[in-house]
Chain A
């Protein structure tokens, strides 16, 4: 396969070779079930606890507040359903935002069918959650607020610590989906003030199929998967040892390297935006100009549709994504772009480039070289074309 210029790191990242190496042992050499009693199994158990320490470390938690899951989606389901059902006697109201990941939104929608009431609060034009609306929406029936740390489509970072202050005053649990931030920026559970947090390995060079939920000590939450005594009786099932070891290694690497990495990636991102903006008229930048994760660039290109741009980029060996309906297989364009007030016809013409580890200046310059003629060609074909 020829080299792909991969600019879709918010979807997934390549697993770091050091992570792959660390995992390798745990398939057919050290394959013991860590729950077993003999020494061979206890070695596996130790490796699992070392990994747990590293996960705890990257978010400033205690190891016994970390439960391994199959990924970010499971962690979100666990946090929201677990708190909802455990605190039913207190109330049935949950607050979330309009720009959450489907793992949160669709979990909330399912809970609505189970008799819970969900409020979906709005965001400003940059995607920042309205704090006044948040405060005024809380009632004595509110049991949980779940707001993402950073948005996967536009990269906007939410002021979580300000929101958790409001939640704490009212005695409401706070969960954050930090799938897009853990391993990229500082995500300290105490600085953020959250009770629950979701993270996912494959978004920061760990393996797919592994994630974790942080549950602050004392948080009332139901077990998620019922079975054996794994994970403090909270999430049953024989542990995914290669995944857990891989996640631990990814955390260890990120703790050391994320800062320099993010600085470099931000330069690439800004180079890409400046290059595109100089060459293509009528584009709009989505997301917060400052409070945005380094690797995310989301733009709307007027008068053209997103999938047709992606197809052309793909033919040039460039992998990116779009918030258009056609690119996602749904009939509606991105709910995030609509929530920040982008007109539907513009949302169909959105492009997201998410940069990472392996990208170089040459990658960026290649996009700046090929995108303008693609847009020009499609605009010439468009009835709105300029």
Chain B
């Protein structure tokens, strides 16, 4: 369990913990049987993720990556948020132990799932954003 100081900081003082009332998108990923579950809530305005919160059941790496990923995504556009991969999150945390890298996938998947949910809830937005692409 040799975690970096950054990981321990985000683990002990996680940013953006909690739920959002009436979110624009919710992503629930993971499996309790495997020992990690994450829920991501987003609020979107003019294609920008203006607020994001998470709830995580998981190990130190899972909690720290949840926290870091939400920090990276907050204030970004949907397109920018979709580009944030688990390797970026791990790098921003000054690395993760090799056997913990899979935990960081959860945060990436959680954000993608929340954005997916947002697009499903607002089909017009989806059409607009794909037109722009």
Contact = CB atoms under 8 A, between A and B. Distances in A.
Interface in B94-116: 99-100, 103
Interface of B: 1, 3, 8, 11-12, 14, 17, 28, 32-39, 55-63, 99-100, 103
A345 B32 contact: yes
A308 B59 CA distance: 5
A384 B37 contact: yes
Contacts of A381: 14, 17, 55-56, 63
Interface stretch (A80-88, A323-331, A357-365): A323-331
11 contacts: A304-B57, A305-B36, A305-B58, A305-B62, A307-B1, A307-B60, A324-B35, A326-B62, A326-B103, A381-B63, A384-B32
Contacts of A106: none
Given A307-B1, A345-B33, A383 B59 contact: no
Nearest to B38: A383
Nearest to A315: B12
Nearest to A382: B57
Given A307-B1, A315-B12, A326-B61, A382 B56 contact: yes
A380 interface: yes
A304 B60 CA distance: 11
A333 interface: yes
A345 B33 CA distance: 5
Given A326-B61, A333-B35, A345-B32, A382 B11 contact: no
A66 B25 CA distance: 67
Nearest to B98: A329
Given A307-B60, A308-B62, 8 more contacts: A305-B36, A307-B1, A326-B35, A326-B58, A333-B35, A381-B56, A382-B56, A384-B37
Q: Which 3 A-B pairs have the closest CB atoms?
A: A345-B32, A326-B59, A348-B35
Contacts of B63: 308, 381
B37 A311 contact: no
A126 interface: no
Contact of A385 (B14, B55, B59, B62): B55
A5 B99 CA distance: 27
Interface string A295-326: 00000000111111011101100000000111
B11 A345 contact: no
Interface of A: 303-308, 310-312, 314-315, 324-327, 329, 331, 333, 344-345, 348, 380-385
A303 B57 CA distance: 7
Contacts of A333: 35
Contacts of A344: 32-35
Contacts of A314: 1
Contacts of B17: 380-381
Nearest to B39: A383
B110 to A, nearest CB: 11
A307 B57 CA distance: 11
Contact of B34 (A304, A315, A331, A383): A331
A141 to B, nearest CB: 36
B57 A311 contact: no
A261 B103 CA distance: 42
A344 B63 CA distance: 19
A307 B59 contact: yes
A231 B17 CA distance: 61
Contacts of B62: 305, 308, 326
A82 B83 CA distance: 57
B99 A329 contact: yes
Contacts of B57: 303-305, 382-384
A151 B35 CA distance: 23
B120 to A, nearest CB: 20
Contacts of A383: 28, 37-39, 55-57
Nearest to A333: B35
Contacts of A312: 12
Contacts of A305: 35-36, 57-59, 62
A164 to B, nearest CB: 37
Contacts of A315: 12
A345 B12 contact: no
B28 to A, nearest CB: 7
Nearest to B61: A326
A306 to B, nearest CB: 8
Contact of A325 (B11, B28, B34): B34
Given A381-B14, A385-B55, A311 B35 contact: no
B55 A311 contact: no
A274 to B, nearest CB: 27
Given A325-B35, A383-B28, A311 B14 contact: no
Contacts of B36: 305, 326
